[in-house]
Chains A and B, each alone.
Chain A
Amino acid sequence: MTHAEQATSESGSPAASSGSEIEQHPAVHVPGDGHMWVMVLGDLIIFGAYFIIFMVYRAMEPQEFLRSQEHLNINIGVLNTLVLLASSRFVARSVQAARGGDHALALRLTYLGGLCGVAFIVIKAYEWSTKIAQGYTISSNDFFMFYYMLTGVHLFHVSLGLLILGITARELRNPRRRRISMVESGATYWHMVDLLWIVIFALLYVMR
């Protein structure tokens, strides 16, 4: 009887087989398909390494990093953070809407999330162009090389995220293509993009 309860209450997560988990939550659930979590967890580890390497080089030239950091526009950094947080909220809400069967709402929220993503890219492009105009390029010094490379590879992830959200939207539009696993996987990826930016913002713009 307990086995049957376990079988119906969990959804595909191998670790949730102990009785205690059933008492905590009726549905222990890994959103999306397991493969996207390979991407997310692996990417977090890889970026974690990049962040630690950044800190090591910062420790070798703290004064230069501090001085260079002054030239970053913190207002734009904050704006970008808020934009990405809002986009994550839209995407999280779209997953909830899709689960509830309201696919029209889920689609609208996916579009809104994507729109914020586009806004992020536009703001970032503006920020880069002002920095380059002021003479701070990738070869200016170590700080700026890290700045352009970290934000650049993050921007690549944002673009990929927009592609994924686009695929989610395309599937949501067609009742025959809808898959909750796709909506969830796309959302998981997008939240990872948001999470990485939080770290980048803290390391490059704020900490001193």
Chain B
Amino acid sequence: MTTTAARTTTYAWILLSAITIVSWWLAPGHARGAAAVASVPITLAVILLAFIKGRLIIRYFMEVRTAPRWLKLFTDAWLTVLWAGVLAIYLY
């Protein structure tokens, strides 16, 4: 009984889970106790991936994809301001 909507939701979920696994690999050594070293490229990747995951959840799970424009703009603005802010403070 898979409709288009159900299929889209499932694809979004698979993508989200895949990105999570990638983040796992980027993390400070997946063996516990491994030394964490600051890394700008990895953090950049993490921020980008988190932005994408957030947007996927908002657009596909929260159905903002079919929401009025103001809601699309507001949620995109929130994601942008948050992650740009995080990045700016990180790089400062």
Contact = CB atoms under 8 A, between A and B. Distances in A.
Contact of A78 (B20, B36, B81): B20
Report whether over half of chain B's contact residues are helix, strand or loop; otherwise say mixed. Answer: helix
A208 B24 contact: no
Given A55-B89, A74-B28, A89-B9, A199 B67 contact: no
A208 B50 CA distance: 14
A202 B47 contact: yes
Interface of B: 1, 3, 5-6, 9-10, 12-13, 16-17, 20-21, 23-24, 26-30, 32-39, 42-43, 46-47, 49-50, 53-54, 57-58, 60-63, 66-71, 74, 78, 81-82, 85-86, 89-90, 92
Given A15-B70, A29-B67, A48 B78 contact: yes
Interface of A: 13-16, 21, 25, 27-31, 37, 40-41, 44-45, 48, 51-52, 55-56, 58-59, 62, 66-67, 69-71, 73-75, 77-78, 81-82, 85-86, 88-89, 91-93, 96, 100, 102, 105, 187-188, 191-192, 194-195, 198-199, 201-203, 205-208
A195 B54 CA distance: 6
B11 to A, nearest CB: 10
B74 A70 contact: no
B28 A31 contact: no
